[in-house]
Structures are given as C-alpha cells and as structure tokens.
Amino acid sequence: METFKDKVVWITGASSGIGEAIALAFAKEGAKLVLTARREEELIRVKKLTGLPDGDVLVLPLDVTEFEKAKPAAEQVISHFQRIDIMVHNAGVSQRSYIQDTDLEVYQSLMNVNFYSTVALTKAVLPYMTKQKSGHFIVISSVAGKIGTIMRSGYNAAKHALQGFYDSLRAEGYKDNIKVTTICPGYIRTNISLNALNESGAKFGKMDANQAKGIPADECARQILDAVKKDKKEIYIGGFKEVAAIYLKRFFPSMLFDQVRKNIPE
C-alpha cells in the first residue's frame, strides 16, 4: 500500500471544495504540496490550514486555461521540489443550461477548463514522471463522465473525454510505472452548482438541492486517498442513486435512459 510521506503532490482547484479537502488530507499524511487555483489569497488560506512548514507548500496561482503557462509552471515545481510524484487534476466547472439555448463559446469554455487544461498540465508533467520512472495522476471526473444528463451536456462531454484520455494514459504509462486513478464523484457538498455556467456563460448562482444534501468534501477526499493507496484504477463516490445509475447504464441502459429524461433538475 502506497504511503504519502514526503511525496510531492500538485493539486489544481485547490482553493475550495474537493481540492481543498484533498490538500488537507494529503497534508495529514505528511505529503509536500503544490496548491494551484486562480485565487492566490484562498490558496494562502488553505496553505495555513495544512499546518505544514512553509518550505513544504508551494502556492502556485494559475489559470489552467492559459495552456502556454503549463510547462513553465511544471518547471517551477521541479525547481522547488526536484520532482512531482502525484498530479491531482481537480480544477473544473459545471453547467446548468439546455443544449438549444447554450452558446458555442460556453461549450468551448467547459472543454477548456474540464478537459484541455488537464491535457496541457499532463503533457507538462509527464516527461518528469517518465524520467523518474514513477508518478500517479488522480483525475477528478464525475458520474457525469459515465452518464449524460439534462442541462449538463457540455460538462458531460468534457468528463466523458477525461475518461477516454486517461484510460489511454494508464495503458501507455504502465511501462514507466505511471499510474492513473480516475475518480467519479456524484453529489458532493461543494459550491459547484453555484459556480456552474448558464447558457450565456454567466454563473448559475443557485445551490442544487441534491448538492446541498451530498457527501461532505472531506469524506470524498478520504475515499480518494484510500483509492490511491490501493492503486485503484477507477472509483465511484456518492449516494446510492448516483452509483446505482452507473451500473444501471451498464446492465439496463434503456431503463437508465428513461429515468434520465424524466429527471428535470431543480
């Protein structure tokens, strides 16, 4: 079973929600952290919460959609810690809008944040992991990466893309001891619905009822670290309904599709 003591863990979307919870969980295990998000002040807040020595936490503000900054950011991490052991792709944004109403630019934004940013950072980090003959990518996908639902078309598409890309990376990286764990959360108690994009790209600004009743982010983080320790390839985290839906699609897809079309989001 893997231990995280002194491992260098780079987390995107680390300023709140699941990313913050993952950072605190790794800190308790003695890891060294790189915290990335757009809001530097929030990253500094999370750094303080970790209780780690200053030298063990690198605050690295970054807009992950500025793809040209991925390689310099990786170089900065290597300069500080000399290695990258675990890359947590957590930055993301959801959606609340119907297909017929949604601007193409909104779809482009969703793909840039949720998919292309992870590809850019992976390509920046991968050469270092290949050279050191070890590395682990933790990819925060979603139940939406398995099931397409109403008002989530672009988000679903981006998360489905993550699944395929990182399945390929898992196979290609095997010879260099590079691992991938894909995480498919259902409803987790975060602000993801508040920050979701509407049809014009503005913030949705409402808390989903199911989200408000979701699993706490710290429990989600605990399950993620447990999965990585055990080198799980893919896990599902959530309530009975979300996890059951994945298996329903696999074995009884027509039944699942009927349920999805009737499930109008609140």
Which residues have a catalytic role annotated? 155
| Beta bridge partners of residue 199, listed in sequence order | none
139: phi then psi, degrees, rounded to nearest 5: -110, 115
34: phi then psi, degrees, rounded to nearest 5: -120, 120
10 neighbors 77 (Cβ within 8 angstroms):
yes
How many CB atoms are closer than 10 A to CB 119? Answer: 17
> Rg of the chain's alpha carbons, rounded to an integer?
18
Nearest to 11 by CA among 2, 26, 3: 26
Rounded CA gap, 192 and 141, in Å? 13
How far is the CA of 139 from the CAs of 14, 24, 71, 89, 104, in angstroms? Answer: 14, 17, 19, 5, 26
